[in-house]
């Protein structure tokens, strides 16, 4: 090893210094040139949405601080940018942690070909998944299509996830004066309006914040996770999904912290949480083996389904003005916080797809733009699951009744009034279905339906029957 060797460490979805194999390898090789490239050129239609970009800005700022202000920012085609940096800094090696989206796989393969032809050392590592997609397959080598055997026979039969790595004991940074890159603000990640300010006010962002969130979950909610996770008014879930997506915390760190916590926890909260982490793994397994998952029905029978093209209905759903409180509360939570409780995600998705008969792609695209945890694998797999067109999907006849779901999982309407405060004056039983309140009850609450809160935009019974008829026609 040359003492003056310069190695690029290319940060992507691994915005942390601990348990970062690429960073550790670069640190051992000599001077480190840490870079981040906003590559919308290759991302194309899957460039990050507005909420994700706002989070990314803050996460990069936190990472740059952890790297003593040495992180270099670039924007454009990663292939050309890395080739340029190799020339400028006489780079000996490039290190990165692997990504699994189809467009990233194709781009990284091109970069590897270019660098190999120039005799540049390249090393990539697994930092984002517990089990990489090609390591978990059935006995005949084919990919799993059902979650339970994927997890129990595929994942759990393999060696346990590796232990997290410590942060490098010492980092020596290359002199970057020859090519200082862009200022973070020049990446243009923040929207011109101030929507992101109220959005990000709900979050602490960065590696340190992710660790704090993980610890708080283990101490406060893990024991009761199985029972509490379905109740959106409770702080019973980890809310680690955006931290995991951007790699502020690794799944290895999460897995081992949960296993350690389980030794002091009674009940089955820990195994149920680890199972949810495995669902994330399953989504990436599907995306890797079926790269058209974000845009094409996994089950091709759904290609002939007759969707409705109703922009007005879609808009009422997006704006949280459907007249169904649990749906509206979820969509308003999404807009205000960049997040939505998982139980509510299933409810609003079922409502859009099966009551409104609007294509799952419309919901997927809206979530992609509005979620801070917008993840190509999880987003597309989850929407197809709800539609019935995906792998191991909910059956077509599983149509969530938003009123019954609301009454069961938010009995006092606490979650509802958090995001639909105009319903707070109503008695709890009418918060779920204000259209059933008498004129006197509405008058006392100061609510005029259609003015203060929308009337229902559809009839649940009629639209359920319509959906069932169309879904059955596919059989």
Domains of the chain in sequence order: 6-127 (3.40.50.620), 129-161+207-289 (1.25.40.80), 300-472 (1.10.579.10)
> Any idea what DSSP says for residue 354?
I
Average pLDDT, the chain: 96
Whole-number pLDDT of residue 2: 45
Residue with the two structure tokens 């998982």: 342
Which of the following is catalytic: 132, 227, 259, 276?
Answer: 276
Are residues 19 and 165 in contact, defined by beta-carbon separation less than 8 angstroms? yes
Residues 6+ apart with CB under 8 A from 236: 221, 224, 225, 227, 228, 229
Average pLDDT, integer, range 396-403? 90
Residue 416's H or E segment, with its range, is helix 414-419
d(CA 97, CA 109): 13
Three-state SS for 34?
strand
pLDDT per position as a tens digit, 62-93: 999 999 999 999 999 999 999 999 999 999 99
Q: Kindly report the backbone phi and psi dihedral angles of residue 69, in degrees, each rounded to the nearest multiple of 5, phi listed first.
A: 75, 20
The alpha helices in 320-375, defined as continuous H runs, are: 325-337, 342-350, 360-370
Active site residue 368: no
What is the per-residue pLDDT for 138?
A: 95
Q: What is the mean pLDDT of residues 254-267?
A: 94
DSSP string across 77-96 = -HHHHHHHHHHHHT--EEEE
Q: Which of 360, 366, 368, 385 is catalytic?
A: 360
Is 276 among the catalytic positions? yes
- Catalytic-role residue among 179, 195, 342, 407: 342
219 is catalytic: no
> Which residues of 142-300 form beta strands (DSSP E)?
none
pLDDT for residue 4 is more than 90: no
- For residues 421-435, one letter each, b for 16 or more C-beta atoms within 10 angstroms of the residue's C-beta and e for the rest, the string is eebebbeeebbbbbe
What is the reported pTM?
0.96
**Residues 31/172, Cβ–Cβ less than 8 Å:** yes
Point out the catalytic residue in the list 103, 195, 299, 307. 307
Distance CA 60, CA 57 (A): 5
């Amino acid at each position: 090893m040359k003492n003056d060797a310069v190695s690029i460490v290319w940060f992507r979805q691994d915005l942390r210094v601990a348990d970062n194999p690429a960073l550790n390898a670069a640190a051992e090789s000599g001077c480190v040139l840490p870079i981040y490239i906003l590559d919308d050129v290759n991302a194309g239609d899957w460039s990050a949405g507005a909420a994700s970009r706002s989070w990314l800005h803050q996460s990069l700022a936190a990472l740059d601080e952890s790297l003593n202000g040495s992180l270099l920012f670039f924007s454009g085609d990663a292939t050309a940018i890395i080739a340029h940096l190799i020339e400028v800094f006489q780079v000996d090696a490039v290190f990165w942690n692997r990504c699994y989206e189809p467009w990233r796989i194709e781009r990284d393969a091109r970069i590897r070909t270019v660098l190999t032809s120039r005799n540049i050392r390249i090393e990539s590592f697994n930092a984002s998944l517990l089990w990489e997609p090609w390591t978990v397959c059935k006995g005949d080598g084919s990919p799993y299509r059902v979650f339970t055997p994927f997890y129990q026979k595929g994942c759990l039969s393999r060696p346990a996830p590796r232990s997290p790595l410590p942060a490098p004991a010492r980092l020596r940074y290359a002199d970057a004066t020859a090519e200082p890159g862009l200022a973070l603000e020049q990446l243009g990640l923040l929207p011109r309006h101030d929507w992101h300010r109220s959005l990000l006010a709900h979050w602490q962002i960065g590696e340190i914040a992710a660790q704090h969130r993980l610890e708080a979950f283990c101490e406060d909610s893990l024991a009761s996770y199985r029972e509490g996770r379905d109740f959106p008014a409770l702080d019973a879930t980890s809310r680690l999904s955006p931290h995991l997506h951007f790699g502020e915390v690794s799944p290895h760190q999460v897995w081992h912290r949960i296993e350690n916590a389980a030794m002091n926890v009674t009940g089955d909260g820990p195994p149920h949480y680890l199972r949810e982490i495995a669902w994330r793994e399953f989504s990436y397994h599907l995306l890797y083996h079926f790269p058209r998952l974000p845009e094409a029905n996994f089950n091709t029978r759904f290609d002939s389904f007759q969707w409705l093209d109703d922009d007005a209905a879609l808009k009422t759903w997006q704006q949280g003005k459907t007249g169904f409180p649990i749906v509206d509360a979820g969509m308003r939570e999404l807009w205000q916080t960049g997040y939505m409780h998982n139980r509510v995600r299933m409810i609003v998705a079922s409502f859009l797809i099966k009551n409104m008969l609007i294509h799952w792609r419309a919901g997927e695209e809206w979530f992609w733009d509005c979620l801070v945890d917008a993840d190509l694998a999880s987003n597309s797999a989850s929407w197809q699951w709800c539609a019935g067109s995906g792998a191991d999907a909910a059956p077509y006849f599983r149509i969530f009744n938003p009123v019954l779901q609301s009454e069961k999982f938010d009995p006092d309407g606490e979650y509802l009034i958090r995001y639909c405060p105009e319903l707070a004056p109503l008695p709890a039983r009418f918060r779920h279905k204000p259209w059933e309140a008498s004129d006197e009850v509405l008058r006392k609450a100061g609510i005029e339906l259609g003015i203060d809160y929308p009337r229902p935009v559809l009839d649940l019974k009629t639209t359920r029957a319509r959906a069932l008829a169309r879904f059955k026609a596919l059989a």
